[in-house]
Structure formats: structure tokens, C-alpha cells
Structure 1
Amino acid sequence: MSFSRRSFLKSTAATGLVATGFAGAGGLAMPALSRAASRPVISHGVQSGDVTANAGMVWTRADRPSKVMFEIATREDFANARRLPPLNALPDSDFAVKRMVGDLPSDQEIFYRVTLADLNDVNATSQPMVGHFRTAPTSKRDVKFVWSGDTVGQGWGIDRDRGGMKTYATMVQHQPDFFIHSGDTVYSDGPLKEEVELKDGTMWKNLVTPEKSKVAETLNEYRGQWKYNMMDENVLAMSREVPTFFQWDDHEVVNNWSGAKDLSDDDRYTEKNVPLLSARAARAFHEMTPISYTPAEPGRVYRKIPYGPMLDVFFLDLRSYRAANSDGMQETLDETSQGLGAEQIAWLKRELLNSKATWKVIACDMPIGLCVWDKHKDVKRVEAVSNGDNGSPKGRELEFSDLLRFIKTAGIDNTVWLTADVHYTAAHYYNPDKAAFQDFDPFWEFVSGPLHAGTFGPNDLDGTFGPEVKYVKAPTKEQGGNLPPSMGLQFFGIVEIDGATEQLKVRLMDSGDTELYSVTLDPKLA
């Protein structure tokens, strides 16, 4: 049967298969499917993620102990549906469940339908809810994906009168194969106020839940950060239509967290133990997203997602294994200077070397050549990679110099770096001829974000790896920082790989869908 992804969004909403509201405090509307109090409710939509040529992760959440039933089909009408063994949604996971669906045909539209049965009354079932994704190809066809980061930061939450998180709606209009969320997926350290007065005299009116009225400390409060974002209709619509590949950064726990983080003088926190907070945050992150899991290390974030013969995506984790933030001037790479850690570096080298894909996209949760600082009690420490001295590699730069040298020596071609974190958009070309460290092949790094947070920047560049700014869009000095989403300086990027030429095109976009900059890269083919 014929199929339009855009019509799928419209049809599922029109037929009531997808809920667009939630029951709760604050006068929120009850969706039609939840009005029968005896029936379980799919409380926060459906999601998919980490899709490959023959598998994909799917996720949902119930409002009570439930048996969760999944059907998988390649037809929108589910005429050829395959029923999977049910899962149980129980309190220990806050009634969230996810599963890897395998044995799927490649390059195929996949529809999945979720229904709940109340474990206390199996005859009481929910209305079904439908989601969609497309599996990766095994032959060369056009591939398109989007990326960005930073959701609900700096006090800017869901203002329904202003259309909610509109950048998500803009991204889904491009009908991407998938979306990379590059970190700061939630702001657990960013409580919301009900109203914020803007410079133009108007009022920003946040939807506020109990979990978003304070900093997150308990496991349930960390879970509440995710549930808040899933109250936005734009996020829900994208999640049911487009798979999201998640990575994390710092605000999932607390700003700039590392072994050096000290909460002793932060009166917002009664729990000062940062390792305990990060453990709770990590559990919520893995419970509330369709990220795949590694049985030997269930909390692992770094991984490779192969998406056809032209693309491998490598997700890095600069947060979980980092040494304490410092001045970044260590001369030796060891456990005191690492950002990625030896195990992750070895994995990345091995996977890059084994990759047969034309393009190797490295999704890094922090930029390489931009100076990002962790300031505390008048002490300035390195938060990202660069230490700002423009000289030979030191501190975390040592890992990246070693990695870039390896990529050159091993003859690994067509690497592109994508990142977010700094709350503006930019295109950087790393030129060894202009670098203090020169033993690497030139490469591009593209920065995008925020999705729905305050806009800042631009940051200073460090010359160690010779970054050249080819484009930047950030607030002016007159505008200042922490600009609200209503100012329009919210950004995402589009990557398009042409199936015929294998060229990779990057477009930097704003929330109004204006193209700000684009560049087409020619692949080096064997």
C-alpha cells in the first residue's frame, strides 16, 4: 500500500491512536483514551531508537503495573502484524519498558503498535498507540538525519501558548531517517518558574511539574525530568515518527559534573554526593530513552550505529569516564587527564579501523577546539577538551591528538564530527597547517543547538588543532546571553548523504527552518 510519513502523523492523531495530553496537576487536559478510569494508559507516548538494518529499540511507559503487548508490521494497517512476547511494566522501572525488535527487513518502513493490559485486571486494556521507524539500507540510497542538543535549559520550559518546543516540529517536517540528540537531553539542575518576564514586556509561561520545580536529587526526580519533556506535543510527535539516537552530557546530572564537582555551597541540594546523583541520573537516562544496552556494561553510552554502506555513527561519552576537571595542563596522558578513557579510545580506534562505511560520523557531546570552562570559587577549570593555551597538546587534548594521529596513520578517510553543548551553531574546519599540533588530516566539526534552551556564545577558539570558523550564528554583544527560544536563535543541523555520488551535505538551520549555512563534502573513495 502507498505510504506518506507526513500522512502517518496526521492519521494517527486523527484516529486517536496517539495521545496528545496527559492527566495530572495544573489543569492539564485528559486525553480521550484515559477517561475510563479502569483502563491502563500509555502515559508518555512511544519512542524508537538505535535502528540498524535489521533491528530497532522501542519504548513506552504505562501508568500502572501492566502487561505490555507489541505488534510489528510493515503495513500501516497492520494486516501482516507479528505479535511479540509481552513485557511487564512494573514500579522498579517506573512502569517504563523497552525492547530490541529484531529480524526486521532492511530499508523498510516499520510500524509498531503498543497495547497495555492491567496486571490486576487483564480484561482492562488501553487504547493502542502506534509508532514508526525505517530500518537502515543494505544498498546505497539517500540518507538524511538531523542533530542538535540542549532541551529545557536555563529556565525555558514548555510554554504552550507559544507552541511548545517548536524546533522539534521543524525537524520532523524534513522526514529524517533519525535524530541524534547530542546531549543535555534534560536539565536536571534547572528548576522552572511558572512565569519569566521577557525584555519585550511579555511573559513566558512555563508548564511546571513538582519534579521541575526544584533540582533533581532522587531517582524519581531524575525520571521526572524526562517525563516533563514528553509532555510537549512536538516531542511526542517526533518520537512516534522518527527514531532518536541519544547521548548524554552534564545537565542530565548537574552542570559541569566530574570528580571535582563540589555541591557543598549549593543550597539547592540536600544530597551533596555527586557520584550518587550521577548513578541515579544514569539509571533514569537508560530507563526513559530507547538507547540500546550492553549486557556487560548496562549503563554504557558510547556505541556504534551502522546505518547502511555509506554511514557509521560513533557515539562518544566524554562524561562517564573523565578525570576531575582541572587546569588541563598535564603533560602526560593518564587517569588524571583523561576525558574519554583508555577503554573507550581503544574501542573507537578499533571500530574506526574496521568500518567499511563511506562516512564515519563521530557524535561527540562536547566540541574539540572551543574553550568551555568550569568556573568555581574564582578557579577556572577545563570543562571540554581545549585548555585555551593554543600550544602543544596537554590535558584532555592528549587523547584527541593521539586519536587524530591514529586516524591519519591508519588511513581512515571521511570522518566528520558533530556536536552541540555551547548553545549556538557553527562550522569549524580543522586545518593542520594552522595548528600547533599538525600530525593529522584536516576534518570538519559542526556545532548545533540549542533545541529549546537559552542561547549563548560564541566561545573562544583554541589553536592547538587549528580550527577555522567557516560560519557562526550566535547572540550579538548587544543581545547578551540566555536568549529565550522566542528570539528564534534555536538551531539544528541536517546531514544528507547522496546515494549516487556519496557526497555528504551539512545544512545548519534555525527553528524557523531557515538555512543559515551549507557545505557539500566530497568523499575520498577507495
Structure 2
Amino acid sequence: MKQKSRRSFFKKASISLASFSLSSLLPPVLATGLNQRVFKIEPEVYFTTGFKTAEVSSNSALLWTRICSQPKPNPIIHKREEKVFRHPIEFDENMPVEQMDGAVKGIGGLVRATLLNAGKNIKSEWYPALEENDFTVEIPFDELKPETAYQIIWEAKLINSENIFETRGFFQTAPDSNSRKPIQLVTSTCQYFWSYDNDTRGFDSYDSMSRLNPDFFVHTGDYIYYDKPGPLAKTIAKARHKWHAMDSWSSLKDFFKNTPIYMEKDDHDLLKDDVYPTSDAYGELTFNDGLKIWNENAPIRNKPYRTFRWGKDLQMWLVEGREYRSANKLEDSPQKTIWGSAQKEWFQETVKASDATFKILFSPTPVVGPDRDAKIDNHANKSFQNEGDWLRDYLSAQKDMYVVNGDRHWQYVSVDGKTGLMEFGSGPVSDAHAQGWDQEDLRTEHRFLRVNGGFMGINVFREGDKPVIIFTHYDTNGNSVHEERFPES
């Protein structure tokens, strides 16, 4: 309780500072000629699409941002259909991208970040924000202290300019593997720009997650939807626009100011539904285009599959389900795979090496399900049953290991009838995105089923000396709708 109070005070007292522009305090450049005086005012740069602190470990973090030439995104002018997904009405797919709802133009310049702790600062070099990377920048920090609070000072400027725009944020590094610090995380999946709850702030779930003051956030894929209208992202420019519009929602920007993120991709934020490496292009957008744009916007170090330790009692694995998979429609066999052989070998080695009390596999797609009979792209489907059976057998043999999955547009808790493996589906980020399952279709695997939106919270702590983990499903307003509690077995 004391730790949380100190952290809340740090945020309120030190972090919630308004962004400001030093250039507004500087005099204009005066030019003269032909008895005229012309004031040349250099354009501002802005953090309109926010910033993220990612891949946080006990001694490192990866910072991401994009610099922009406009202070606010374009306003929303289209009305929406009153049905699932809330598609925009009469949206002109051929209008210039810079005129679309939520559009935010980028601008070239330089970015620098400084980390502050206990009066000491760690300052990065100036990093270029280049058009070829959609003006995004990633700044790595290493040799940080475990379980330590850092204030972030972001600075951006135009090249050859001294006028600096500044904004601030906060994060804490993970505790080391001997720490018994309580951990609270949140996770969600499946968010489509037009399924927003509020036309000013965006998604209520993000504001609700903020109120829980989590240590970090895991997004399990489908952060955006290339293959839903408003626009259909069949070009690189339209695909990049989807990221700009999503990241400029106020609820997301405010959440990521103080909450680290770990990201996984799935099909819709890579190219299109059920995609695999040899899939056809989506319009002009190819699989490799999708990978480049993903890497511009999702701050990840090294390989897309990785593991992170948060103290003595928690380790998590984030896996890659699209880059290494076989074609979905191939006949199933022991060789057919979603993960690929290298990832499977890495996963087994790192799980074996772990002495964490609780282990969580974050999977972009279901492992247990149940799923719809027509689906063919995940481990809960018959099309990947060989690898699915292997994975369920392997996971259930591990002590205190659970699966948290994305992709499904409903909330659930399920137990595999053969192995006893438990899976938790967080559900989509908004009610408008919930669909695909009948609320009355309660299967034997289900311990909980709710066809609506929200998110999930996971708490790891100790009662006396006994480790406990709690999985809680929340609605979009942050009300608890279901809880599962497990002591160390």
C-alpha cells in the first residue's frame, strides 16, 4: 500500500505536467527587404501520436515516439453505423489520407530522451525522425536500476533549430528475480478505431485501466485493423494512417505516459484476416510492407518472441504467431506449425530454465478455446491440431502455468478437458467490437463467458509467504465481472 501511495504521489506531483513549447518564448527571426519587415516563424513539432515505454526489464527499456507537424489529430466528421464495429457511414476511401478523420501529419526532426531518478539523469543522443520510418524514433536505455522509478523528459526539434518542444512521462523498471514485490498488470486485445466509446477520448477501457495504476500492459494483437473501412489500408500511406489515428486518442496517450507496454501482433495489424507469410497482398500492401510498418510502430528489441521476468513470482512469454507459420489450409501434420521450430525450441529452453512461481504464456491466438468450427488459424482449431495437442500437453505439464490470449471478441475462462490447461481471453477493448459467439452457447470448457468488451487484470502477490495469482475480467468502465484466484500449487 505504501509503495502504491508513493507511486501515485510521484505521478501526481511530478509527472502530470502540461507539455509546453519553448519556441513560444523565443523572439521571431526578423528579415528585412524593400522597406518591408517579414517575420519568419519556424513551425512547431508535436508529440500528437504520443509515446510509449516498452520492453521494460529490470535494467533496460525501449522508448518510442513519432513527431508530428500538427498539435491535434483531424476531427471525426463521419457518423457511424449502429451495429457491431460501428463502421463509418459514407466514408470516401479515395480521399487524401491527410484529410481523413484522425489523420496526423509527421515531420522530420530530432528527438532526445532523458531519464531522471533521485536527481541523476541519463540523457540520450539526438535521434533523427526520418520520413522513411514515418518519423518514428526508438531510443534504447540500458544499465538501469531494478525496481526504480524514472521520469522521462522527451525533447523534439526541427533539424538546425534550437526551438525545442517537450513532454514528460514516467515508468518503473521490473524488480529483479529475487524480489517479492506485488505486481499488477493489465491486458487487452482487438481495437478498431471506429469502435470507440467516446469521440473525444476514444476507448473507456484505457481510462479504466489507468485508474488501476498497473505496473505494465500487454497488448495481445490486433492493435489496429487494416481490413476494416475508414479507410481500408490497401496502401502503405493508409496503413500508417491507422496507427496515427489510434495512437492519437487521448485515452491511449494518457495511459502510455505512465504505463509500459509489451506488444504482440496478430493478423489485422500485420496485413489482413488469417494472414501467413505467403498470403497474397492486400491491395498494394504486401506482407513485407506490413512487417516494416509494424516494426515502425511496435517497439520490440531483437526477435518478436521474448520473455520477461517481473520479480520472484512472475515470468511471462510473448510469442510470435504470424511470421513463421505454415499456410492455414495445408493438411495438418506434425510438421505444420504456427510457431516454427526455432521458436518452439526457444520456448521449451526458457520455460525449463525459469524458477518463477507463476508463468504466463501470452498468445495472440487461442490455445484452448473453444473456437468456432469454421476457424482454421489457431491452436484451438483442427487445422493445427497436431501442434495444438503438443502445446497443450507441454503447458499443462508445467507447474502453475497459464495462457492469456487475444484475438477472440468475447471474454472467457476455459479449461481444456483433456489436459486441464487454463486459458483466459481478455475480450475486445470496447463493447462495439464484441461479437462472434452466442452468450447462451456455454460449453463444457467454459468457467466464464461474457460476449462483451473490456480488459483483464492480473495480480501477483503474497499472503504471508504464500504466492497468489488473481485473474480479473473487467467491463469497459472498470467494474469487475469475474475473478479466478489461485495459490501456488
TM-score, length-scaled by structure 2: 0.80
1:308 corresponds to 2:311 = yes
Q: CA deviation at 1:3?
A: 4.3
Counterpart for residue 523 of structure 1:
488
Query: Which consecutive unaligned segments of at least 5 residues does structure 1 have?
Result: 19-35, 193-213, 264-268, 295-299, 375-379, 388-393, 433-439, 475-488
Q: CA deviation at 1:381?
A: 5.5
Distance in structure 2 (CA, Å) of the matches to 1:225 and 1:9: 32
Native 8 Å contact 2:455 2:476 kept in 1: yes
Deviations 1:135-167 (A, max 9, x none): 1112111001001101116x4247425x42111
Deviations 1:20-70 (A, max 9, x none): xxxxxxxxxxxxxxxx75333223222101111111111111233222121
Instruction: Determine which of 320, 323, 334 is the counterpart of 1:320.
Output: 323
1:456 corresponds to 2:440 = no
TM-score, length-scaled by structure 1: 0.74
Q: CA deviation at 1:277?
A: 2.1
Distance in structure 2 (CA, Å) of the matches to 1:186 and 1:324: 23
Q: Secondary structure at the match of 1:146?
A: strand
Q: After the TM superposition, which residues 100-111 of structure 1 pair with which residues of structure 2 at under 5 Å, given as runs?
A: 100-111=140-151
1:69 corresponds to 2:112 = yes
Q: Which amino acid aligns with 2:334?
A: L
Q: After the TM superposition, which residues 179-328 of structure 1 pair with which residues of structure 2 at under 5 Å, given as runs?
A: 179-192=217-230, 214-252=231-269, 253-258=271-276, 261=279, 270-271=283-284, 277-290=286-299, 292-294=300-302, 300-326=303-329
Q: Secondary structure at the match of 2:161?
A: strand
Q: 1:506 to 1:6 in 2, by over 3 A?
A: farther
Native 8 Å contact 1:430 1:467 kept in 2: no
Q: How many residues align?
A: 423
Q: 1:122 to 1:369 in 2, by over 3 A?
A: same
Distance in structure 1 (CA, Å) of the matches to 2:112 and 2:277: 42
Distance in structure 2 (CA, Å) of the matches to 1:372 and 1:249: 16
Native 8 Å contact 1:47 1:131 kept in 2: no
Distance in structure 1 (CA, Å) of the matches to 2:277 and 2:113: 42
Counterpart for residue 398 of structure 1:
386
Instruction: Determine which of 490, 493, 502 is the counterpart of 2:467.
Output: 502
Instruction: Determine which of 426, 432, 439 is the counterpart of 2:412.
Output: 426
Counterpart for residue 349 of structure 2:
350
Q: Which amino acid aligns with 1:288?
A: N
1:125 corresponds to 2:126 = no
Q: After the TM superposition, which residues 348-387 of structure 1 pair with which residues of structure 2 at under 5 Å, given as runs?
A: 348-370=347-369, 372=371, 380=374, 382-387=376-381
1:445 corresponds to 2:419 = no
Native 8 Å contact 2:403 2:423 kept in 1: yes
Q: Secondary structure at the match of 1:122?
A: coil
Counterpart for residue 83 of structure 2:
none
Deviations 1:162-198 (A, max 9, x none): x421110001110111011011011111123xxxxxx
Query: Which consecutive unaligned segments of at least 5 residues does structure 2 have?
Result: 22-40, 69-106
Native 8 Å contact 2:53 2:259 kept in 1: yes
Distance in structure 2 (CA, Å) of the matches to 1:287 and 1:473: 34
Counterpart for residue 59 of structure 1:
64
Counterpart for residue 205 of structure 1:
none
Q: CA deviation at 1:80?
A: 2.2
Native 8 Å contact 1:338 1:395 kept in 2: no
Task: Provide the alpha-carbon RMSD of the alignment.
Answer: 2.8
Counterpart for residue 199 of structure 1:
none
Distance in structure 2 (CA, Å) of the matches to 1:10 and 1:172: 17
Distance in structure 1 (CA, Å) of the matches to 2:245 and 2:256: 14
Native 8 Å contact 1:45 1:230 kept in 2: yes
Instruction: Determine which of 203, 213, 235 is the counterpart of 1:175.
Output: 213
Distance in structure 1 (CA, Å) of the matches to 2:202 and 2:6: 28
Native 8 Å contact 2:370 2:445 kept in 1: no
Counterpart for residue 54 of structure 2:
49
Q: Which amino acid aligns with 1:301?
A: P
Q: 1:460 to 1:396 in 2, by over 3 A?
A: farther
Q: Secondary structure at the match of 2:147?
A: coil
Q: Secondary structure at the match of 1:71?
A: strand
Deviations 1:268-320 (A, max 9, x none): x643xxxx522112211121122x221xxxxx422112222211110112222
